[in-house]
Amino acid sequence: MNFRARTYITVAFSFILIAATLILSQKSIESNISKLVIIAFLILFTYLVYYIYTLKNSQNILKLHLKEAQAGEKQQENLQKQLLKHNTNLENEISTKTKEIHEKRYTSILTGLPNRSKLLEESSIFKFNKMALLNIDNFQSVNDIYGEEIGNVTLKITAVFLQKQIEDKNLFLYHVGGDEFAIVAKENDDFYKELFVEFIEEVLQKYKDEDFVYREKKLNLMISAGISFSGRKKMLAYADMALKDAKKRNVHISVFDNQELEKIHKIEMESHKKLLHALDNNDIISFFQPIVYLKDDSKPTKYESLVRIKEDNGDFIQPFNFLDVAKTNRIYNKITQAVLTNTLAAAQKYNIPCSLNISLTDIYDETTMQMFFSTLDKYAHNELLTIELLETEDFVNYDDVNKFCKRVHSYGIKIALDDFGSGYSNFAHILNLPIDYIKIDASLISHIGKDKNSRIMVETIVELAHRLEIETIAEYVSSKEILDIIKEIGIDYAQGFYIGKPERIEDLLSA
């Protein structure tokens, strides 16, 4: 009971007591019973008033509670709506993120095409029976020369070009990774094997003829392809074998031959294992082949460092068995490092002039160049070294090669141009690069005694070189006849089996 109610009752009872006292004190009342009836009526009336008040007060309290309950229910409804909205937003966000993750997993971010994971997944769903694995030729050179931006642009425009070629042909295009794309056909397509090969050849030719221009830079691009018609789960691996075969044979397309290419693949896998084993056990060694000066016997003999793998049984593996494998598996730089270390160690230990081969692959690889020059910094007799530039037919940017040559010269190291005369572009090289020696290609020297044109070509090279104050080296001097001819022509140095075979430097110097 609240204060107001208690006050009301107190006042009412006080009024009744006063009224009762006044009534009982009146003598005009006939009997006490009548007085008591009046008093009882007053008491009953008071309780009735109190009951009505209490009922009214309870109703008010009930209304208040009801209003509070309704407000709470309204608040709960609002909370439920907010929760449902949050749940819907969360579901949408999860759905969006799931879609993004799916796209990242199955889509190339750069080109927007389905990627290797998507290809492998769909190869188990669809019955693919034809696959062409396409690779952009010399893409790494494009990336190194023009920069990553143009490299990425090259991939994008290639994707657009290939997508356009397969329109309305029931073919699937995938960006397998890096500079590789795959065009795949289902089992129920309209292409026979021969038609599929013809179609891929047509795509390769169109790509070669296309004028790709970006920011006024013309990109001369070509594609090689490996094709497979079998394997299903191994189809990508077989197409990859065919692609490697095309690269190795310097052709633009190769079709997988189940027995022959798988045999080659097994040989390459074995070579890869041996190469890794050799790198882990410091068995990448150098043989040295003498290069003698023909005009003065007192001048010291030079020695070219030639890489070998030493096997556990004591045998030695020739470089043509593992260099391509090293490039394919991206460990070629480790071979370069081993040969550089071997060569500098021999030059310093025996105080002899030595040369080693450096390819465009090395020059365009930033990591290899950092290793190369940091290694040179550790040796005191770099002037004994000569660098022989390989892959000269692939020179497309003289700036990088020129910078490399000038930096090498700053160490006192000489530069030789290898395989000179194997292509017309060699003549441009000696005009654009700071060359100290040219090594005349074996194809010319080996025929110099039998082929008149070969001799004329060699004589022309020697005369041009001497006018430019460049010394000449004849490779593949395999007989006394060839030696006598090159002496007569005026070549400065000779190298070949008649002069000396590649051996361990200790064996050559002790002979």
What is the percent of the chain with per-residue pLDDT over 70, rounded to a whole number? 82
Confirm if 379 and 350 have CB atoms less than 8 A apart.
no
pLDDT in tens, 248-265: 778 889 888 766 666 766
Count how many residues are written for the chain.
511
Q: Region 12-22: what's the mean pLDDT?
A: 58
At position 36, the amino acid (one-letter code) is L
pLDDT in tens, 456-469: 989 999 999 999 99
The sign one gets for the Cα dihedral 486, 491, 496, 499 is positive
Inter-axis angle of helices 366-376 and 332-350, to 10 degrees?
10
> Cα–chain-centroid distance for residue 471?
42
Helix, strand, coil % in the chain, rounded to nearest 5: 55, 20, 25
Residue 277 half-sphere exposure toward CB, CA atoms < 13 A: 12
pLDDT at 30: 54
DSSP H or E segment with residue 392? none
b/e burial code for range 461-484 (CB count within 10 A of at least 16 → b): bbeebeeeebbbbbbbbeeeebbe
Residues in a beta bridge with 430: none
Task: Report the distance separating Cα 350 and Cα 346, nearest Å.
Answer: 6
Q: What are phi and psi of 431, to 5 degrees?
A: -90, -25
Task: Report the distance separating Cα 75 and Cα 484, nearest Å.
Answer: 108
> Which pTM value belongs to this model?
0.58
Task: Report the distance separating Cα 200 and Cα 256, nearest Å.
Answer: 14
pLDDT in tens, 102-134: 566 788 888 989 988 888 888 777 778 889 999
Inter-axis angle of helices 148-165 and 139-146, to 10 degrees?
140
Confirm if 402 and 432 have CB atoms less than 8 A apart.
yes
Q: Region 213-228: what's the mean pLDDT?
A: 83
What band does 330 get if pLDDT is binned at 50, 70 and 90? confident
The sign one gets for the Cα dihedral 210, 215, 221, 226 is negative
pLDDT in tens, 189-205: 666 788 888 899 999 99
CA-closest candidate to residue 355, choices 391, 385, 382? 385
pLDDT at 245 over 60: yes
